[in-house]
Amino acid sequence: MSRATRRASPAEPQIRTVSDVLDQHSLLAGESHGDFESLRAAMLDDLAPRSAYAQVIARNLVDLEWERRRRIRWIRALVMSEVRQTLGAALEERLPPKDRDRLMSALMIPGTAGESAASSIMKMEIDVDLLTAEAYARKSEDLKRFEDEARRIETRRRRLLADFEKVQSRPRNTVEDAIVVDDERTETEAES
């Protein structure tokens, strides 16, 4: 028995591609839709799924990677929040509030600005690494939960990637007697 593709009637919902169904994702407050889309596009381009099921697995891989990165962001945010509180108290004695706030804000910026702020703080004989380690220790139970979740997500991601590679390596199924019906033709033309 052959299968033919037919056009959906106006009363039927039209689903154009698997991507239309899979493009639903939930971001949390503060997460960037652009960052998620960039990650998704890069990963899907790299994975290049060849079938609908491979697309489903690839999208799940994207979601798992986003979840893993989310946990890492939470870990950093939790530690940095604690560092800010401790550092704020240490700088309170040494700097006026405006200078203290400016220096602490600069410290949170990755790269040169953060390094420069850390260097300025170290000159005041405040060890930023020690403050960070102490903050980590104070939050260790909370951090452990996030770290454990990140590890579990990574394990799931690796298993899913192995499944994806198996699906990708399979030859595509073809149906020898299938008739492909062009969407431009009407159903009557397709039947003749």
- The arithmetic mean of pLDDT across residues 27-39, rounded, is 90
Distance between CA atoms of residues 27 and 39, nearest Å: 13
- Percentage, residues of the chain above pLDDT 90: 38
Higher pLDDT, 25 or 108: 108
Tell me if the pTM is above 0.75.
no
Q: Report the phi/psi class of residue 48: left, alpha or beta, with left for phi > 0 and alpha for psi in -120 to 50.
A: left
| 120-155: pLDDT as tens digits | 888 998 888 888 888 889 999 999 999 999 999 999
Of 22, 18, 30, 32, the C-alpha closest to 61 is 22
What pLDDT score was predicted for residue 169? 92
Distance of CA 128 to the CA centre of its chain: 29
What pLDDT score was predicted for residue 181? 63
pLDDT at 22 over 80: no
What pLDDT score was predicted for residue 132? 86
| 66-118: pLDDT as tens digits | 999 999 999 988 988 888 888 888 888 889 989 888 888 888 888 888 889 88
Distance between CA atoms of residues 112 and 106, nearest Å: 9
